[in-house]
Amino acid sequence: MEFLYQAAIDVARMAHAKQLRKYTNEPYIVHPFAVSGLVASVTNDDGMIIAALLHDVVEDSDVSLDTIKGVFGLRIAGMVSDLTDVSKKSDGNRRVRKQIDLEHTAAASKEAKTIKLADLIDNTKSITTFDPDFAKVYMREKQRLLEVLVDGDATLFALAENMVRDYYMKRQESK
């Protein structure tokens, strides 16, 4: 299993090598590591932790799902597929694309939903901190996303739900 972990780290590093995290300019790889760390905090399922490392690879690079399947197997490729947005710019505006991706996520496995919760948690921290204007749009989307993620890990779900609730409570208090 150590080989698969190292391979996942290598693939994620390669896929995200030229990317920086929006707002912080950190190397993007910190995000997959943070997501996999959150997943590892609630499960010892190696496949889920590896899929968390790879969750943005297909979306952000030319690494294909077939390559993921060939290297990591069908189960991990299935989770990565569940986590990969399926909408395209040509599908319409952001609202339309997010609806398409929401429906895709609704059909995802419980394991992929757990990883998606970890992704949501990590992204929410930076967006609400560094981009309050976009956070208004983003948090509405995440509120809707939570409705389809209830099958994910209960601990991560509660954390994500609390982050969304706290965001709206703080906005109410500031009015």
Q: How far, rounded to the nearest angstrom, does the alpha carbon of residue 93 sit from its chain's CA centroid?
A: 21
Cα 116 to Cα 131: distance, rounded to the nearest angstrom: 21
Q: Is the distance from CB of 126 to CB of 28 less than 8 angstroms? A: no
Paired residues of 20 in beta bridges: 27
Q: Which of 2, 46, 56, 60 is catalytic?
A: 60
Q: How many CB atoms lie within 10 A of CB 47?
A: 17
Give buried/exposed letters for 20-29 (b at 16+ CB in 10 A, else e): ebeeeeeebb
Longest dimension (CA), the chain: 53
Q: Which of 10, 26, 59, 103 is catalytic?
A: 59
For residue 59, indicate whether it is catalytic: yes
Q: Rounded to the nearest 5 degrees, what angle is found at the Cα of 128, between the Cα atoms of 124 and 129?
A: 115
Q: How far, rounded to the nearest angstrom, does the alpha carbon of residue 4 sit from its chain's CA centroid?
A: 20
Residue type, 144: R
- Which residues form the catalytic set? 59-60
